[in-house]
Structure 1
Amino acid sequence: MQEDMYKKRFKQWNTRKYNEEGEMKAIVRKYAERARVGKASAFKVRDRAMDIQKVLKYCERKSIPVEDIVARREWSTTPEAVECFTPLQSSLRTPEVLATPERILVALQDYIIGSFDAGKWMKLGESSSGVDSLNHFFNCCELALGYFRNNHSLDAWQALNNAFASITTILRSENPSTFLYFLVCTGIMFRSRKPGIALAILRHVSAMAEVLLGSSHPFKVVCTWLASLVQTNEAFNQAISSICFQKMADCFEQLGLADEALRYRLAFISEIEFEGNVNGVEDMYQKLSRDCELTLGEHDLRTLLVRNCLVYYLISRGDFARAQEEVQCLLAHHPPNDRSHVKIESLHNLAWCQYRLGDTQGAVAIIREAIDMTLSKGDGDQTKACGMMLPLEAWLSKLGEFEAAAQVQETRLRVQEESMRVEYL
């Protein structure tokens, strides 16, 4: 009875015994928004003053990631009970946990627009610089994870060392996709429970950027900030990556760099998926695919790339039958003699679908085709082929073809050694 009486009184007085989570999140979001444009903020909740430090302690106690709240500020409205106003005088500074994500977004946006205006980046239709080095870096990181999963730690560290060897060329080229590759790779490392590697990548990029480009260059300061967030939160906050991808895609679209905008859009959708917000992810891929078909055509490699990302999403969700159907349709749109990375990735995905659906023999035949196609390109970096040879070895062993598996292993080691000799400095 007494508890009911208190509840009735609280309702009459328009107050609560405890703060509501939605209100606390709204305060964090609003504080960060205003701090970004230099405004001080004070808050009241149902006419009671609410200090930002108290709100942050609430979030910490409830294990609510503050960076996630900041990143999603555009997706939520402020509750009626929360009042925000500018104090007459305030010496309060934005708490570091809120300020750093905002600094990252501002720095990246300024860097994109400034670099384009200064002519550092290519304009629409021009060839991109540093692409080979970026692909090499990404493929080496993926190969390292494959080695870690198969308990080949020494080979994994060799692959990572080879990835680091290309960073000098990557930084000097200042390619628009550079941040995309770094953010995606560090995110993959965290999801694979390799936070130390993610931190090593960020620190190495930061140190090299300071030497090559200067202490105030965005590659240096952004990677340093990201590394600080990794250390303070003990996990790579994917919400920061997703909002970075979204904002950078918007900037590239405004500048007319359609290809770069597409890459960042795809990264944004993928990051949303990894955050666990799977509702609507497939619709996002489908919409982007339709947009590409209308503007580029259904046979354009960029359209096929988007559809391939949908296939990868279906595989990650365990919907192998639909993924198989989609990728078979996708391969039908490729020209017979096409050896593009998109077709190779499509074959790779189809092989995994066959394997997961119980057709190991079919999977072996398809992934062999993808490997042969990669090796026949003769572009020097065969790291991608090495990564595909790892499951091929396992599948052949599963079929009892141990001699064939040993031959694949021998080829993999030889190709890996040759690939490690490729100079990216």
Structure 2
Amino acid sequence: MYKSRIWKWGLDKKLKGDEVLAILILKRDRDALHKPSEFRIRGQPVDFGNIKRYVKRNPSLLAKLRAGHVPSSQTTREVTCRTPSPPPSLRADIAPPTELQDVERVLGLFRDYVDGSFSSGAWYCEYDVDCTNSRFDQGDRSNDLFERIIASFALVNRCMMRGDKIDINSVLGPSFESLKEIVAAESPDFVARTVCLLWYLDRHHKHDLLRLVLNYLAGLVPIVLGPHHILAHIWRRLSATSFSDYYELSMRLYSLLLPQIEERAGPANFLTHLLYSDYVDCVFARQGPEDCEGTLSRHLARAEASGRRHSWLGDMALSHAGILAACKERQGRLDEAVQVLTGHMNTYSMTEEQEAAIRLELGVKYYRMGNVSAAIASLQSAARMALTSDADERLSMTALANLEKLLTETGRPGEAEQVHQYRMDRLAAFAEKSASISRGFDGDEEADGKSDSVPSDAGELPEWLWTCYDGDEGCAYDKATFALVHPAVAIKWTEVPHPSASPSAMGAGFSPQPDSGVAGTEASYYYTPDPRIP
């Protein structure tokens, strides 16, 4: 009787061969999935050290495992396995209980807002095409405005990193004004980009601009949409809580929104594309290229399988090439990284913006390989392409900043100062154009007819963008194609005609700088935006 009770109550500590075999099979399968394991027999935890000692005393058990023997069905039911929970102290360090509750509230609010918007018809969704607010008959500028806002934050950050003297108010002021139009539009795009805003600002501006934006939107949304609107509740919650890790909050939001949006809108929907692009950028910034390559390639395959031929599929393919190149570089194979990028350039028909992005990245790769002349030539080429097209301003400004740095490092301070002054003039023109856009103009012309002074053709570019700096007689530029004829730059440029440039969500891997980036920057801002509606 006592023996029966001991067995039923799990107090029998003596291992049986069948039980150890069952544990070994479970461990083998879970190790293949890289999962940690905690084993139990009849509900009682098992010390794996005892398993090792048992196998050492009974080597024939390993022979049974290799031969494919299986335990009895009774033993299989009694031996269980689970992923161990973090120790209580560690979980307390990750996030306090009150913060976990705040995270769940934010997730719940986002879930309710997205579900309600789709169910009520407030969002009109054409499957595998786009999602819009059904109240807006005219075009929604929300995503274009958001891209310009992020560009403003990035340009200010990089200027402050380099010690440039800039008027922060002139650059950031239009961004906060543009947020008013974005909020009023209630665009599905804004919900998707909110997550990007959280992790991006936390990564680059966590001690000032992040808090400034959160507080500004918490005050703005109730004014524009009413104090009881669910977006007002979302932003009040985000502003009132200082989350210990906005990256983790963003990852939870992506885990919620990605499957929900893709199921309702389709894998080839622009809204789905925005979410995946931002998600990949987030993972790339925190974990590196290897952790996001599979995600992007699988989503790209699903989007292409839809049969749709959206222009942004080229952006995704370019992002994938950039991630593959970053993987090669992390492995110390810079020559193969260059081959990935040049191979993409020679295979695909690209917009001028996409080609400028590759040339910019090639310039950084050549710099890291020690080929300074090739790096300078690639950066010049990237700047020319970006400046004479409708490319994202971050492309031209990054190319110019890197070119300035390389000229300084190679003992050409006069030429570097020319680039610096031109870059500052470009930033001023960008701020002026942003102010025009925030006031409702299209950005090409001010109300008084004044142009924003952006060059429109190669003839308006400064001469130093065509200068060969290595002194070789065989160095020459073809101004018709922007190609550099030089033996140090073994790049085969595509000869196919380029379609008109389209907005690009600049994927992971395409914000390169020789000075190793801007991650973790702590800049100080002296700017107080006013949420009141003029």
Q: Same fold (TM over 0.5)?
A: yes
Q: Deviations over 1:399-419 (max 9, x none)?
A: 333232222222212121122
State the distance in 2 between where 1:414 and 1:185 align. Answer: 27
Answer yes or no: is 1:252 the counterpart of 2:261.
yes
> Given that residues 296 and 303 in structure 1 are in contact (C-alpha distance below 8 angstroms), is that contact kept between their aligned partners in structure 2?
no
> Given that residues 284 and 291 in structure 2 are in contact (C-alpha distance below 8 angstroms), is that contact kept between their aligned partners in structure 1?
no
3-state DSSP of counterpart to 2:94: coil
3-state DSSP of counterpart to 2:278: helix
- How far residue 293 of structure 1 moved from its aligned partner, in angstroms, is 4.1
> Given that residues 145 and 156 in structure 1 are in contact (C-alpha distance below 8 angstroms), is that contact kept between their aligned partners in structure 2?
no
Counterpart of 1:89? none
Answer yes or no: is 1:304 the counterpart of 2:309.
no
Unpaired stretches in structure 1, ≥5 consecutive residues: 1-7, 17-54, 67-94
Answer yes or no: is 1:330 the counterpart of 2:344.
yes
**Equivalent residues in 2 for 1:367-406, closer than 5 Å:** 367-377=379-389, 382=393, 384-406=395-417
Q: Number of paired residues?
A: 348
> Given that residues 383 and 400 in structure 2 are in contact (C-alpha distance below 8 angstroms), is that contact kept between their aligned partners in structure 1?
yes
Q: Deviations over 1:43-91 (max 9, x none)?
A: xxxxxxxxxxxx999346752236xxxxxxxxxxxxxxxxxxxxxxxxx
Q: 1:346 aligns with which of 351, 358, 364?
A: 358
Q: 1:58 aligns with which of 88, 110, 117?
A: 88
Q: CA 1:268–1:209 in structure 2 vs 1: closer, same or farther (change >3 Å)?
A: same
Counterpart of 1:101? 103
**Equivalent residues in 2 for 1:26-425, closer than 5 Å:** 58-59=88-89, 63-65=93-95, 96-116=98-118, 117-120=120-123, 123=126, 124=129, 128-152=140-164, 154=166, 158-192=170-204, 194-229=206-241, 231-233=242-244, 235-236=245-246, 238-253=247-262, 254-256=264-266, 258-276=269-287, 280-296=291-307, 301-314=311-324, 318-319=329-330, 320-335=334-349, 338-339=351-352, 341-377=353-389, 382=393, 384-422=395-433, 423=436, 424-425=438-439
Q: CA 1:372–1:163 in structure 2 vs 1: closer, same or farther (change >3 Å)?
A: farther
> Given that residues 125 and 265 in structure 2 are in contact (C-alpha distance below 8 angstroms), is that contact kept between their aligned partners in structure 1?
no
**Equivalent residues in 2 for 1:14-29, closer than 5 Å:** none
Q: CA 1:375–1:215 in structure 2 vs 1: closer, same or farther (change >3 Å)?
A: farther
State the distance in 1 between where 2:167 and 2:397 align. Answer: 11
State the distance in 2 between where 1:272 and 1:261 align. Answer: 17
Q: Deviations over 1:333-379 (max 9, x none)?
A: 4437x33x444333332322222222333233333333333332358
Query: AA paired with 1:246?
Result: S
CA-atom RMSD in angstroms: 3.8
State the distance in 1 between where 2:415 and 2:160 align. Answer: 23
State the distance in 2 between where 1:61 and 1:245 align. Answer: 22
Query: AA paired with 2:426?
Result: V
State the distance in 2 between where 1:155 and 1:358 align. Answer: 35
> Given that residues 252 and 258 in structure 1 are in contact (C-alpha distance below 8 angstroms), is that contact kept between their aligned partners in structure 2?
no
3-state DSSP of counterpart to 2:93: coil
State the 4+ residue runs in structure 1 displaced beyond 6 angstroms: 11-16
The more displaced of 325-334 and 207-216 is 325-334
Query: AA paired with 2:93?
Result: S
Q: Deviations over 1:289-342 (max 9, x none)?
A: 333444458x86433322333344456554344432222222234437x33x44
> Given that residues 245 and 267 in structure 1 are in contact (C-alpha distance below 8 angstroms), is that contact kept between their aligned partners in structure 2?
no
- How far residue 156 of structure 1 moved from its aligned partner, in angstroms, is 5.6
State the distance in 1 between where 2:249 and 2:213 align. Answer: 17
Query: AA paired with 1:345?
Result: A
Higher relative contact order (CA 8 A, sep 6+): 2
Q: CA 1:270–1:326 in structure 2 vs 1: closer, same or farther (change >3 Å)?
A: same
State the distance in 2 between where 1:225 and 1:140 align. Answer: 26
- How far residue 136 of structure 1 moved from its aligned partner, in angstroms, is 0.7
Counterpart of 2:494? none
Q: CA 1:260–1:13 in structure 2 vs 1: closer, same or farther (change >3 Å)?
A: closer
Q: CA 1:412–1:61 in structure 2 vs 1: closer, same or farther (change >3 Å)?
A: same
State the distance in 1 between where 2:114 and 2:41 align. Answer: 53
> Given that residues 308 and 342 in structure 1 are in contact (C-alpha distance below 8 angstroms), is that contact kept between their aligned partners in structure 2?
yes
State the distance in 2 between where 1:367 and 1:144 align. Answer: 21
Q: Deviations over 1:231-258 (max 9, x none)?
A: 252x42x122123123222232213471
TM-score of the pair, normalised by structure 1: 0.68
- How far residue 261 of structure 1 moved from its aligned partner, in angstroms, is 0.8
The more displaced of 101-110 and 317-326 is 317-326
Query: AA paired with 1:358?
Result: G
Unpaired stretches in structure 2, ≥5 consecutive residues: 1-12, 15-39, 46-84, 133-138, 440-534
- How far residue 226 of structure 1 moved from its aligned partner, in angstroms, is 2.7
State the distance in 1 between where 2:400 and 2:431 align. Answer: 16
State the distance in 2 between where 1:289 and 1:352 align. Answer: 26
Query: AA paired with 2:88?
Result: Y
State the distance in 1 between where 2:112 and 2:42 align. Answer: 48
TM-score of the pair, normalised by structure 2: 0.56
State the distance in 2 between where 1:288 and 1:322 align. Answer: 24
Query: AA paired with 1:416?
Result: L
The more displaced of 177-186 and 389-398 is 177-186
State the distance in 2 between where 1:255 and 1:245 align. Answer: 15
Q: CA 1:173–1:345 in structure 2 vs 1: closer, same or farther (change >3 Å)?
A: farther
State the distance in 2 between where 1:383 and 1:314 align. Answer: 22
> Given that residues 122 and 128 in structure 1 are in contact (C-alpha distance below 8 angstroms), is that contact kept between their aligned partners in structure 2?
no
Query: AA paired with 1:206?
Result: A
> Given that residues 140 and 185 in structure 2 are in contact (C-alpha distance below 8 angstroms), is that contact kept between their aligned partners in structure 1?
no
